[in-house]
Amino acid sequence: MSKGICILAYSGGLDTSVCIRWIIENYNLDVIACLVEVGQEQDENVEFIAAKALQIGAIESLVLDARDEFAQEYVALSLMTNGMYENKYPLVSALSRPLISKRLVEIAQQKGASYIAHGCTGKGNDQVRFENSIAALDPTITILGPVREWDLTTREKEMDYAEKFGIPIPTSKKRPYSVDDNMVGRAIECGVLEDPDVAPPEDVYTITQDPKRKDAPDEEIITLSFEGGLPTAINGEAMDMVELIIKLNLITGPHGIGRIDMVENRLIGVKSREIYECPGMMTLITAHKALEELTLERDLMHYKLTLEQEWSRLVYSGMWFSPLKLAIDAFMAQTQTFVTGDIRLSLYRGNCVVVGRTSPYSLYSYGLATYDSADQFNHKAAKGFMELYSLPIKVWSEVQAELHKQADKDSAECSAPSSTTGPTVGKAGKPGGCF
C-alpha cells in the first residue's frame, strides 16, 4: 500500500526543516517540500534550501516563483487600502500566507496529495491564515500542524532535535529569533524580544540601518509616481512593482525608515511584542495617503478610512478569501480611479516626510484655499451656511436651558421652609414634595 502525500509549506527555517523529519516519522507520509518565493531575504540560496529538504527526507523539493503575483495581486491591494493592522503593522506575513496557500493547494491537486502541512505554532496568527485560506480553496484537503502537536515545546528543544538527526538549520541558541520576510519587509520575534521593556538589539535588523549612527546618510529627496493608486516610477524611472519595491527598500533602508516596535493583539487573544522593518512599504503608504488627500472627495476619503481598518483586520485574521474582504476589494479599486500623480518625500534619520504633491486630478483649489488677493471664496455665503449648520445644536441648547431653568425652580420650591406642620404634599401627591 502506497504512502499518502503531504505538501509542506517549507521555508528552510527551523520549524519547517524539523517538520519534514517529524511528519515522516509520526504520520508515515511522503513529504513534498514547497518553497514559495515572495521576495524573501535568504541567508542561504534557494537551491541550497531546496536541496536541504531532500537531504532531510522529502521525496521532492519545489521552488515556486510567485514574486510578480505577490506584488501585483496582494501587495498592490494592500497599498490601495493603506493596509495597516491596528494602524501600525503593514501586514507583512498576513499578505503572503493566502498566496502561499493558493500555490500549496495547486500543487496538492496536481500531485494527488490529501494533506497540506504548515510549521505554525498553536498560539500564532499564521495557522489561521494558512488553514482558512486552504479551506476556502479546497475544503477536502486535510491540514496538519505538527508544531501544535509535537513535544518540542521550545526552540531550544527543536534545535536539539535537529542536531540529533543531522538537520541543518539557520538558527542558533545565541541568536534564536524567529523571522518571516518577503519583499514587503521582515517580522522578527522570540528571544529577548519577548520582553516588551527590552530595546531590540541592533542585530535583529538587516534591511534598515540605525538612523542615530554617526555615519547616517544626509537628507535625500525622492519622487514617487502613481497611476490609478499604484506606484509606477522612482525619480522618473519607470519600473514594475517587484523592481520598484526592492529598489525602494534599498533607498530607504539606510535612512532607518520603517522600523516598527509594537505590542499587537493577536487573533487568538494574546498580546505579542513584534518587531518589523518595512522601509519601502511604509514609504509607499506615506506617499499613497498623501496623494489620496489631494485627489479623493471628502466623504469618500472619510468612509474609506473606516473600511481600511476593517480590511486590515480581515487580512490579519486570515480572511483574504472571505466574501466581505472581496467586496471591500471592489470598493477600494473604485476609489483609486483618480489617485494619479507625483509625491516628493524627504528621507532623513528615520523620518519619511511628504514635502511636495502634484496630480492632474487634484481637488485642491488655490483660489478657494488662499487668503491673499487671489481668493475666490464667497465669504458672504458663510453667514447663511453657519446659521443652517448650527441650527440643530442651537435648538438643542435652547431646550436644555429651559430644562435647567425648570429644574432650578423645582429645587428652590423643595428647599423653601414649610408654613404648615406635618408632612407636605408634593406635586406627585407624595409626602415631602421633592421626589
| Active-site residue, selected from the candidate residues 114, 138, 155, 178 | 178
CA distance between the termini of the chain:
87
Using CA atoms, how far apart are residues 58 and 47, in angstroms rounded to an integer? 15
* Active site annotation includes 101: no
Establish whether 126 is a catalytic residue. Answer: yes
Written as one string, the DSSP assignment of 52-105 is HHHHHT-SEEEEEE-HHHIIIIIIHHHHHHT--BTTTB--HHHHHHHHHHHHHH
Q: 93, 126, 129, 359: which is the annotated catalytic residue?
A: 126
Q: Give Cα separations from 39 to 65, 117, 174, 185, 238 (angstroms).
A: 9, 22, 26, 9, 20
Q: Are 280 and 258 in contact (CB under 8 A)?
A: yes
For residues 291 and 357, the answer to whether their CB atoms sit within 8 Å is yes
Active-site residue, selected from the candidate residues 21, 67, 97, 357? 97
Q: Considering only CA atoms, which of 309, 305, 311 is closest in space to residue 292?
A: 305
Listed residue (373, 249, 298, 319) closest to 85, CA to CA: 319
SS3 category, 248: helix
Task: Measure the CA–CA gap between 205 and 222, rounded to whole angstroms.
Answer: 23
CA distance 188 to 180: 7
Inter-residue long-range contacts of 420-429, CB under 8 Å, 24+ positions, other chains counted: none
- Torsions phi, psi for 13 (to 5 deg): -80, -175
C-alpha cell at 18: 524539523
Q: Is 15 a catalytic residue?
A: yes
Burial 20-38 (b: 16+ CB within 10 A, else e): bbbbbeebebbbbbbbbbb
Within its chain, how far is the Cα of 136 from the centroid? 21
DSSP-based three-state secondary structure for 282: helix
CA dist 203 and 277 (Å) reads 12
| Contact residues for 136 (Cβ-Cβ < 8 A; gap 6+) | 321, 322
Give the residue numbers annotated as catalytic, written as ranges.
15, 97, 126, 178
